Homo-oligomer: A and B are copies of this chain.
Amino acid sequence: MSAINHKFELAARPVGLPKATDWNFKEEPVRELAENEVAVKILYISLDPAMRGWMNDRRSYIPPVQIGEVMRALALGRILDSRNPKFAAGELVYGPLGVQEYAVTNGRGLTRVDAAAAPLPLYLSALGMPGLTAYFGLLDIGKPQSGETVVISGAAGAVGAVAGQIAHLKGCRVVGIAGGPQKCAYLRELGFDAAIDYKAENVYRTLQQHCPKGLDIFFDNVGGDQLEAALSVLARYGRIIICGAISQYNATLAMKGPANYLSLLVNHGTMTGFVVGDYAPRWGEGLQEMAAWVREGKLKSREHIVEGLEKFPDALLMLFSGENYGKLILKVADA
Indicate if the CB atoms of B258 and A256 lie closer than 8 Å.
no
Indicate if the CB atoms of A257 and B259 lie closer than 8 Å.
yes
A275 part of interface (Cβ distance < 8 Å): yes
Q: Which residues of B contact A228 (CB under 8 A)?
A: 257
Indicate if the CB atoms of B264 and A259 lie closer than 8 Å.
no
Instruction: Kindly provide the distance from the CB of A186 to the nearest chain B CB, expressed in whole angstroms.
Output: 26
A209 part of interface (Cβ distance < 8 Å): no
A232 closest partner in B (C-beta) = B59
Q: Which of A20-28, A35-43, A195-203, A237-245 contacts B (4 or more CB under 8 A)?
A: A237-245
Indicate if the CB atoms of A243 and B272 lie closer than 8 Å.
no
Known: A254-B259, A257-B259, A259-B256. A274 touches B265 (CB 8 A): yes
Instruction: Kindly provide the distance from the CB of A158 to the nearest chain B CB, expressed in whole angstroms.
Output: 17
Indicate if the CB atoms of B273 and A272 lie closer than 8 Å.
no
A269 part of interface (Cβ distance < 8 Å): yes
When all copies of this chain in the complex are counted, the total is 2
Indicate if the CB atoms of A244 and B265 lie closer than 8 Å.
yes
Q: Which residues of B contact A256 (CB under 8 A)?
A: 257, 259
- CB-CB contacts below 8 Å: A219-254 with B: 223, 228, 242-245, 248, 254
Beyond the given A257-B258, A265-B275, could you list 14 further A-B residue pairs with CB under 8 A, ordered by the A residue number?
A: A242-B264, A245-B262, A248-B262, A254-B259, A255-B262, A256-B257, A257-B260, A257-B261, A258-B261, A261-B271, A262-B273, A263-B273, A266-B275, A271-B271
Known: A270-B272, A273-B269. A242 touches B259 (CB 8 A): no
Q: Which residues of B contact A264 (CB under 8 A)?
A: 242, 271-273
Indicate if the CB atoms of B268 and A272 lie closer than 8 Å.
yes
CB-CB nearest 3 A-B residue pairs: A264-B273, A257-B257, A265-B273
A60 part of interface (Cβ distance < 8 Å): yes
- CB-CB contacts below 8 Å: A36-55 with B: none
Q: Please measure, in the bound complex, the distance between the C-alpha atom of A22 and the C-alpha atom of B251, giving whole angstroms.
A: 41
Tell me which of A245, A263, A265, A270 has the highest count of chain B C-beta atoms within 10 A of its own C-beta: A265
Indicate if the CB atoms of A272 and B275 lie closer than 8 Å.
no
Known: A245-B262, A260-B255. A273 touches B278 (CB 8 A): no
Q: List the interface of chain A (C-beta within 8 A of B).
A: 60-61, 223, 228, 242-245, 248, 254-275, 278
Instruction: Kindly provide the distance from the CB of A273 to the nearest chain B CB, expressed in whole angstroms.
Output: 3
Q: Which residues of B contact A60 (CB under 8 A)?
A: 266
A242 interface neighbour in B242, B243, B245, B265, Cβ under 8 Å: B265
A243 interface neighbour in B259, B265, B270, B278, Cβ under 8 Å: B265
Q: Which residues of B contact A257 (CB under 8 A)?
A: 228, 256-261
Q: Please measure, in the bound complex, the distance between the C-alpha atom of A260 and the C-alpha atom of B248, giving whole angstroms.
A: 11
Instruction: Kindly provide the distance from the CB of A285 to the nearest chain B CB, expressed in whole angstroms.
Output: 18
Q: Which residues of B contact A268 (CB under 8 A)?
A: 272-275, 278
Q: Which residues of B contact A242 (CB under 8 A)?
A: 261-262, 264-265
Q: List 23 A-B contacts (CB under 8 A).
A: A60-B266, A61-B265, A228-B257, A242-B262, A242-B264, A242-B265, A244-B265, A245-B262, A245-B265, A248-B262, A255-B260, A255-B262, A257-B257, A257-B258, A261-B271, A263-B273, A264-B271, A264-B272, A264-B273, A265-B273, A265-B275, A270-B273, A271-B271
